[in-house]
Amino acid sequence: MGIGLLIKSLGAFIELLLPEIMARIIDEAVPAKDMRQVLFLGIWMLVCSLLALWFNVIANRNASSTSRDITRRIRHDLFSHTLYLSCEKTDDYTIPSLDSRLTSDTYNVHQMLGMMQRMGIRAPIITLGGLTICFIMDTTLALVFLACIPFIAVLIYIRGAKGIPLYTDVQRAVDDMGGVVRENVQGIRIIKALSRTDYEKNRYQKVNTVLARRQVKAGLTMAIIQPGMNLFLYLGMAGVILYGAYRVNAGLSTAGTILAFLSYFTLMSKSMMALSRMFIMFSKGMASSKRIMEVLNTSTEQHWEKKDYPSSDSSYAIAFEDVSFSYLKVKDNLQHISFHLRPGETLGIIGATGSGKSTILSLLLRFYDADEGKIYIHGKDIRTMDPVKLRSMFGVVMQNDFLFAGSVAENVRFGRSVNDEEIEEALSLAQAGDFTGDMYRELTSKGTNLSGGQRQRVLLSRAFATKPEFLLLDDSSSALDYKTDASLRKTLETQFAKTTKIIIAQRVSSLQQCNTILVLDHGKIAGMGTHEQLLRTNKIYADIAASQMGGALFE
């Protein structure tokens, strides 16, 4: 950028010489009828114009490439930073907002960088340099012209100060619109299925209107700058012509000077207009770069705390001790959760939607830190463990987990070092034997070309593939038919006997064999025990079982 700006400045200085040379032709060479002098100065003008043009082109090319490279880096940094944001922070920003920060905000910054380099140095040099030369040529006349500058400065300052917050509002509206678009694209099938198309159309129209209104407001605020500036500039020019004519008549100035003034005036007014356009771009770019910096300055994840939290009984693979947690710190999503799992044991979790089942897994994976209580793995407080190492111990299938566009094998491998045989094995363990011969079958994004059950089995294979020490399965067999579900349970029991497992399920039948089943109700433990114990002692569990098995189990 530095080199580019240097070349740009050179070009601008050379350009400033042109009217000055022209004034000499008119005032000195023409009256003297000195053709050689006219030709000599004329060639000088030509050389200077060509040089100015050439420097400008080089500098503009340089501006394009540097702003492209800078934005690419910003996008890269922002993207990787976004990936490392803690879940809490992601919730705060919201996904659509992060999305538009990565796309439209970086675009605005790109535009700003390019514009600033193309005009940011040239316009002030032309304006200030032009003024200086005017002063040297004819101070009184220059003062007339100078009188219009304060008005322009005030105009730009006042409007610009208003512009930045307005453009921040515009970007917020872009976030909201992104949110609606994202939901609609993702939920297109359900929207159609429930005939919600009109409703969604209205919802979109609303956010779209807000965006348009804010854009108009920002646009109107900034729109006054350019015509306002023109007005003052032309007033200045009229003043120069009137007063100049008077001075030439009085013999105080020359025709060449007036003509040079007018040329400088044209140059300056062009660059001031560019300055005003730059100012709009600058307001947008600054609003956007603030939004980008906000994310970049957000610290990523909980750091591996160096503090020595006391250890606990290391004979338990996983232990929750009196854990409470709330997402938004208003309502408790989990209260006083305690359980202990020995290596190889299986914990089942059952409970109504929203009772906090998935939240338990999020805390265990340290997506969030518990507000109270402690979580131990092999007796070590998880806050003392490196989150990356911690997570690599788990094979996880989340609720609504994600398949991306690519082959089955790639989805199972998920960028980890897992070879084809291991993938094949994982697929057959996950009862996805139908894929083993067809590992390179292409999936569409989110696995939309698979059935629900097929998706779940690919996801299970992904969790199985690394033979992790722990398996966390969140509602990962809900779409399987009973027979497949049963053979999956058998596999978990026999092939993963040494693996400590936490299984969340809606079906009592999926949890029967668990060593302990935890019944969650509104974030609290409503019962804990084996299937048989709970059937006898826990009303919630017995009710769920009865509704699913038609009371057959009581016999």
Rounded Cα gap, residues 116 and 122, in angstroms:
9
Q: Closest CB to Mg ion among 292 and 520? A: 520
Q: Closest CB to ligand ADP among 7 and 534? A: 534
Residues in touch with Mg ion (CB under 5 A)? 357-358, 399
Read off the DSSP letter of residue 311: P
Q: Closest CB to ligand ADP among 59 and 505? A: 505
Three-state DSSP class for residue 339: strand
Cβ partners under 8 Å of residue 519, min gap 6: 350, 351, 525, 526, 527, 528, 534, 538, 540, 541
299 contact choice in ligand ADP, Mg ion, none (CB below 5 to 8 Å, kind-dependent): none
Q: Which two tokens stand for residue 206?
A: 């609303």
327 contact choice in Mg ion, ligand ADP, none (CB below 5 to 8 Å, kind-dependent): ligand ADP
Rounded to 5 degrees, φ, ψ at 310 are -65, 150
Read off the DSSP letter of residue 326: -
DSSP letters of 54-65? Answer: HHHHHHHHHHHH
Q: Closest CB to ligand ADP among 151 and 327? A: 327
Q: Are 540 and 522 in contact (CB under 8 A)?
A: no
Query: In the complex, what is the shortest distance from the CB of residue 401 to ligand ADP, in angstroms, rounded to a whole number?
Result: 13
DSSP letters of 219-274? Answer: HHHHHTHHHHHHHHHHHHHHHHHHHHHHHHHTTSS-HHHHHHHHHHHHHHHHHHHH
Query: In the complex, what is the shortest distance from the CB of residue 400 to Mg ion, in angstroms, rounded to a whole number?
Result: 9
Query: In the complex, what is the shortest distance from the CB of residue 500 to ligand ADP, in angstroms, rounded to a whole number?
Result: 20
104 contact choice in Mg ion, ligand ADP, none (CB below 5 to 8 Å, kind-dependent): none
Query: In the complex, what is the shortest distance from the CB of residue 454 to ligand ADP, in angstroms, rounded to a whole number?
Result: 23
129 contact choice in ligand ADP, Mg ion, none (CB below 5 to 8 Å, kind-dependent): none
Q: Closest CB to ligand ADP among 250 and 328? A: 328
Cβ partners under 8 Å of residue 300, min gap 6: 81, 84, 85, 86
256 contact choice in Mg ion, ligand ADP, none (CB below 5 to 8 Å, kind-dependent): none
Tokens 């690394």 locate to 466
Query: In the complex, what is the shortest distance from the CB of residue 87 to ligand ADP, in angstroms, rounded to a whole number?
Result: 7
Residues in touch with ligand ADP (CB under 6 A)? 91, 327-328, 333, 351, 353-359
Rounded Cα gap, residues 380 and 359, in angstroms:
20
Q: Which residue is nearest to Mg ion (CB)?
A: 358
Q: Closest CB to ligand ADP among 116 and 363? A: 363
494 contact choice in ligand ADP, Mg ion, none (CB below 5 to 8 Å, kind-dependent): none
Query: In the complex, what is the shortest distance from the CB of residue 79 to ligand ADP, in angstroms, rounded to a whole number?
Result: 21
Query: In the complex, what is the shortest distance from the CB of residue 401 to Mg ion, in angstroms, rounded to a whole number?
Result: 11
353 contact choice in Mg ion, ligand ADP, none (CB below 5 to 8 Å, kind-dependent): ligand ADP
Query: In the complex, what is the shortest distance from the CB of residue 383 to Mg ion, in angstroms, rounded to a whole number?
Result: 24
355 contact choice in ligand ADP, Mg ion, none (CB below 5 to 8 Å, kind-dependent): ligand ADP
415: region left, alpha or beta (phi > 0 left; psi from -120 to 50 alpha): left
